[in-house]
Amino acid sequence: MSFVEYSDIIQDGDVAIVYLGHDSMTPIKVQHGAQTQTRYGAIRHSTDLIGQRYGLKVTCTKGGWVHVLHPTPELWTVTLPHRTQILYTTDIAAITMMLELKPGSVVCESGTGSGSLSHAILRTVAPTGYLHTVEFHQQRAEKVAEEFREHRVDHLVTVRNQDVCKDGFGVTGVADAVFLDIPSPWEAVGHAKAAMKKHGGRVCSFSPCIEQVQRTCEALVKHGFQEISTMEVLLRTHDVRTVSLPMPDFGPHDTAQEKETPPNQTVFMLKTTTPPREIPGHTGYLTFATKPRT
């Protein structure tokens, strides 16, 4: 198992995602001799998991069952232990596309936080790209580095425990893209520029408040970035529902059958979708810019 490569068979030491139904999921470390308790009873790792195929349905000791899934960055985002606020898939999708990430891209990121975005970046840039991620909170830096090892992606990433605003990313002239998710991104824009390749690249900064966006844009202009644009990505879920409507009355009726059934007593059923009137869940603004060739 690796978060950047699929394997069929569950092995000792893997991280697997247990799907308990109703969108409830939890990550587990697969270990010989270990057991995981669920509301359906225990899962015995040695007999129920190791050597079995990912995707399998496991019957737990109380008779209920769960599915055991191969981990992905998307599943990790919804199951990871939070140490910080994290980025979710809606923003991550826009970030990955607008930063033009692809296999082989070199990316600098700060702060690492809980590593939600980092895992998505790693899957996108693998197998030949690289992530340099900077986190100034020591325990968070150590914890995420441990997770990268457990998820077998540590060959693709370096975690640096330093202040990106003071000390930068620890690399110069290597990055195709830089991502900032820190309270004062404007203080790191100069370091972002220094980390990027001479032939240019893309930068993105995530901020919840528009005042942070304004200061970041000013810093981007000052450092010669171009194509500066800010967007907010909102997810609009359309619920499908069935409505019943009265049959329209088209005037006098001629046939015998229609005379027997007055039209205004007939209804017809219609499947429809309704967009929500309000969209809760502002996460933040994404500011993108391009560093031109220097």
Ligand X SMILES: C[S@@+](CC[C@H](N)C(=O)[O-])C[C@H]1O[C@@H](n2cnc3c(N)ncnc32)[C@H](O)[C@@H]1O
Q: Which residues bind ligand X (CB under 6 A)?
A: 84-87, 110-111, 113-117, 134-137, 140, 163-165, 181-183
CA–CA gap between residue 110 and residue 181 (Å, rounded): 6
69, 92 Cβ separation under 8 angstroms: no
What is the nearest approach in angstroms of ligand X to the Cβ of residue 78? 12
Give the N- to C-terminal CA distance of the chain in Å, as an integer. Answer: 41
Q: What is the smallest separation between the CB atom of 288 and ligand X, expressed in angstroms?
A: 16
* Distance separating alpha carbons of residues 24 and 39, to the nearest angstrom: 11
**Least distance to ligand X from the beta carbon of 159, Å?**
11
| Nearest distance from C-beta of residue 158 to ligand X, angstroms | 14
Closer Cβ to ligand X, 54 or 136, answer by number: 136
Structural element, H or E, at residue 118: helix 116-125
**Given the complex with ligand X, which of 114 and 205 has the nearer CB atom?**
114
Nearer to ligand X, 114 or 287 (CB): 114
User: Tokens in use for 250?
Assistant: 């088209």
Distance in Å, CB of 8 to ligand X, minimum: 29
The two three-digit tokens of residue 86, written as one number:
């994290």
By C-beta, is 30 or 125 nearer to ligand X?
A: 125
Angle CA(245)–CA(249)–CA(251) in degrees, nearest 5?
Answer: 175
Rounded-to-integer distance, Cα 121 and Cα 287, Å: 18
Partners of 24 in the beta sheet? 21
- Report the residue number, 140 or 193, with the smaller CB distance to ligand X: 140
Give the closest residue to 184 by CA, choosing from 227, 152, 219, 155: 219
User: Residues 178, 196: contact at Cβ < 8 Å?
Assistant: yes
Select 137 or 152, whichever has its Cβ closest to ligand X: 137
Pick the closest to residue 191 from 212, 170, 161 (CA basis): 170
Nearest residue to ligand X by CB is 111
Q: How far is the CB of 236 from ligand X (least distance, A)?
A: 22
